[in-house]
């Protein structure tokens, strides 16, 4: 009788897992369609006569003789201004959302965020240093690198923060997640303090640039910037799904994951380096865009469950969709001016974050 009950329970569990897996696949398929719609909306939103039909028609006709689906002016706007912006939005949205999902799996906490390990603050420090000191102390560097100086400085700032964090949190070949969290908070505070000193030194023009950059924007998207940070983000995103099995096992605890054959130390190292690369490269070209890494993974867990095999690719798709929609809102809500995209994501994400806290009030003491 007991054996029959165990067998029945196993069958029910298998059926439940199968149902959830099927639902996850459907959600991922819908998100793929949603991303296509979001890209099309991004390409057609703004002051231009280009419609969704004309853009699709131009894609289908290509270089065919007599292709007049788009005028020369609209083709310039769509392919040289909006398409780089949409491409950058997809990359950054996916990077932030997947990084958030990995951090939450690593810390086993749905409130974890890439900002917790200080990567965003370190990247901001590097970018602010170039903006404020680019004409004086860092003039040789900025003159040599040109427009790439800002994204490269931000990326190096995030990478340096990560390396210091890893050295502080690692002892005898083992990395403590708790120490990493506390050290990340301390390094972020230090980076913000140094950023504050640089802001104090800035002139009025630099302050305007700093304010707009820190609030986040995709306005400066170019194919050159995508070429500089795109490979880093793509490689990080390509590596993240290979962490899914380890993150699933880590949910049972580090000791259990080790007994299951998961190389826990290597998993931590790979996750931190991947998140640092993705977030550092994203912040380097877009500035500070918050709440995507918290909202997207948690929203998907409600829909498809916590299995990282499906959660990570779904997070990439939904993160890209949400950032493209936020960018479309930022471009049109105060047209012809443009609202920083970080404001849009904060307005949408902050109430959701509070809702998460209320749902977790048994864990988080309000």
Q: Which of 131, 186, 120 shows the shortest CA–CA distance to 155? A: 120
Distances (CA, A) of 324 to 2, 31, 89, 235: 54, 13, 6, 21
CA quadruple 102, 190, 124, 352: dihedral sign:
positive
Q: What is the pLDDT of residue 365?
A: 44
pTM: 0.84
Instruction: Give the span between the Cα atoms of 40 and 30, in whole angstroms.
Output: 15
| % of the chain surpassing 70 pLDDT | 86
What are the tens digits of pLDDT across the range 211-221? 777 888 888 78
Q: How confident is the model at residue 308 (pLDDT cuts 50, 70, 90)?
A: very high
Q: What is the pLDDT of residue 102?
A: 93
CB atoms within 10 A of CB 301: 17
Q: Which residue has the tokens 């958030």?
A: 100
Q: Which residue has the tokens 């995709």?
A: 218
In 202-334, which ranges are continuous DSSP H helix?
Answer: 204-215, 223-239, 244-250, 254-259, 264-286, 292-304, 308-332
Residue partners of 356: CB distance under 8 A and separation at least 6 = 110, 111, 294, 298
Q: How confident is the model at residue 70 (pLDDT cuts 50, 70, 90)?
A: low
Instruction: Give the span between the Cα atoms of 148 and 284, in whole angstroms.
Output: 10
Continuous segment of H or E residues that includes residue 132? helix 119-133
Instruction: Give the span between the Cα atoms of 366 and 361, in whole angstroms.
Output: 6
| Count of positions (residues) in the chain | 366
What are the tens digits of pLDDT across the range 73-131? 777 777 788 889 999 999 999 999 999 999 888 888 777 777 777 888 888 888 888 88
What are the tens digits of pLDDT across the range 194-248? 999 999 988 888 887 787 778 888 887 888 889 888 988 999 999 999 999 999 9
């Amino acid at each position: 009788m007991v054996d029959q009950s165990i067998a029945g329970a196993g069958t029910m569990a298998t059926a439940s897992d199968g149902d959830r897996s099927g639902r996850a696949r459907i959600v991922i398929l819908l998100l793929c369609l949603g991303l296509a719609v979001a890209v099309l909306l991004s390409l057609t939103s703004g002051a231009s006569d280009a419609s969704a039909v004309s853009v699709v028609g131009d894609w289908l006709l290509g270089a065919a003789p007599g292709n007049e689906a788009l005028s020369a002016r609209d083709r310039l706007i769509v392919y040289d201004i909006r398409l780089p912006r949409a491409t950058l939005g997809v990359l950054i949205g996916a990077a932030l959302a997947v990084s958030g999902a990995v951090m939450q799996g690593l810390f086993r906490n749905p409130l974890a965020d890439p900002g917790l390990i200080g990567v965003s603050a370190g990247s901001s420090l590097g970018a602010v240093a170039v903006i404020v000191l680019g004409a004086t102390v860092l003039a040789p560097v900025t003159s040599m690198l040109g427009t790439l100086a800002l994204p490269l400085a931000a990326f190096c700032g995030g990478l340096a923060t990560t390396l210091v964090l890893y050295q502080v949190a690692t002892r005898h070949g083992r990395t403590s997640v708790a120490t990493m969290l506390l050290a990340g908070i301390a390094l972020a505070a230090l980076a913000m303090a140094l950023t504050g000193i640089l802001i104090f030194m800035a002139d009025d023009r630099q302050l305007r640039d700093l304010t707009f950059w820190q609030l986040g924007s995709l306005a400066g998207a170019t194919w050159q910037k995508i070429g500089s940070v795109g490979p880093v983000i793509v490689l990080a995103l390509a590596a993240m799904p290979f962490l899914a099995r380890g993150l699933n096992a880590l949910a049972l605890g580090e000791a259990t994951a080790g007994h299951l054959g998961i190389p826990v130390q290597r998993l931590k190292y790979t996750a931190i380096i991947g998140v640092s690369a993705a977030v550092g490269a994203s912040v380097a070209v877009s500035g500070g865009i918050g709440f995507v890494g918290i909202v997207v993974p948690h929203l998907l867990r409600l829909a498809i469950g916590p299995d990282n095999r499906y959660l990570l690719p779904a997070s990439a798709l939904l993160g890209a969709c949400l950032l493209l929609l936020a960018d479309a809102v930022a471009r049109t809500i105060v047209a012809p001016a443009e609202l920083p995209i970080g404001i849009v994501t904060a307005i949408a994400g902050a109430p959701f974050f509070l809702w998460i806290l209320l749902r977790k009030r048994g864990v988080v003491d309000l």
